Structure 1
Amino acid sequence: MNTTEQVPKQSKFSIKNIFLPDYENYEGVRRINIYVMRLFFALMFVFVATDSWTVILTHQGEWDPTRAVAWCTWAAYSTLALLGVFHTLRMLPIMLFMIFYKGLWLIVVAYPLWSAGTLKGSPAEGMAYMFTGIIIPILFMPWKYVFKKYILFETKKK
């Protein structure tokens, strides 16, 4: 009698399966997490790449070095996000970067304005509204996987 426990194989797509850990394809991460993160990677690519590459490719004259760094950073970030659509788990640091910078901006810029009652009508209001959407990637980030891979630096067994 075989006493080894086997993980059930997820053979086909079903709504039930997207909520179960997928050990075969995604190292135990649930498919719903993968699908939502892919959506966010695609949105990052579509919206940020369009703006950043348009500015870079149509810019005329000399660049202000600080503005050039900012636009080049956004162009690189959004282009790497495209890789996240296809290699979701490998590109999680891009998603972590997004959560970190948006969360930091909300704490450093938006929260003081909000607590002073001056966020509404300020130049930061629109961005604060958009940045609050980070709650979705925070909820769907496979935090156990992130902790294992990026905090504990899991080593491969021989």
Structure 2
Amino acid sequence: MNEVSLFRLYVLRALYLFVVIGLGMLVVPQIFTHTKPWEFFHGVTTCMLVAFWLLCILGLRYPLQLLPILMWELIWKTVWLILIPLPLWLSGTLDDSLIPNVINVSCVVLVYIAMPWSYVYNHYVKNQSNPWRNVK
């Protein structure tokens, strides 16, 4: 009785691999090649992306156990798209300089496609939570 098909596990692994390769080419080299101190938010962003990259490496081996990291990615990107560029687009004031970020963040659609939603529902919504205290 496997809740998630082998095919879906491979889809998840492909998504983790996509992130590992993408961030491995774009972000990880920054760790080793920067020569000046980073501005605060650039440093925070880079370190968070490297942490996400490392967790996605683990996701290749443990795709279901690392679903919460994909859920975090899905949530923050969806919230950002709804709160930042959508109102600008609706008002006709979306700046062209923001378009590349919107395109990159819109890749979150891949997470929506890869996510085993019935597994997420059964394990994170329907399943009984851990106890808050010892019951005698």
TM-score, scaled to structure 1: 0.71
Shift of 1:131: 2.6
- Which runs of structure 2 are paired with 1:120-139 in the superposition (5 Å)? 122-139=96-113
- 2:76 aligned residue (97, 101, 109): 101
| Cα pair 2:12 2:63 within 8 Å, conserved | yes
Give the Cα separation in 2 of the matches to 1:127 and 1:31. 33
Give the Cα separation in 1 of the matches to 2:51 and 2:83. 24
- Which runs of structure 2 are paired with 1:51-66 in the superposition (5 Å)? 51-66=26-41
Matched, 1:149 2:117: no
Give the Cα separation in 1 of the matches to 2:11 and 2:93. 33
- Which runs of structure 2 are paired with 1:1-158 in the superposition (5 Å)? 23=1, 27-119=2-94, 122-154=96-128
CA distances 1:36-89 after superposition (whole Å, capped 9, x unpaired): 211111111111132222111111132323321111110110121111111100
| Cα pair 1:106 1:128 within 8 Å, conserved | yes
Q: Which amino acid aligns with 2:79?
A: L
Instruction: Please give the secondary structure, in 2, of the residue aligned with 1:126.
Output: helix
| Cα pair 2:28 2:50 within 8 Å, conserved | yes
- Structure ranking higher in helix proportion: 2
Structure 1: 5+ residue stretches without partners: 1-22
Q: Kindly tell me: are residues 36 and 129 of structure 1, through their superposed partners in 2, closer, same or farther at Cα, counting changes over 3 Å?
A: same
CA RMSD of aligned residues (A): 2.0
Identity of aligned residues (%): 26
Shift of 1:153: 4.7
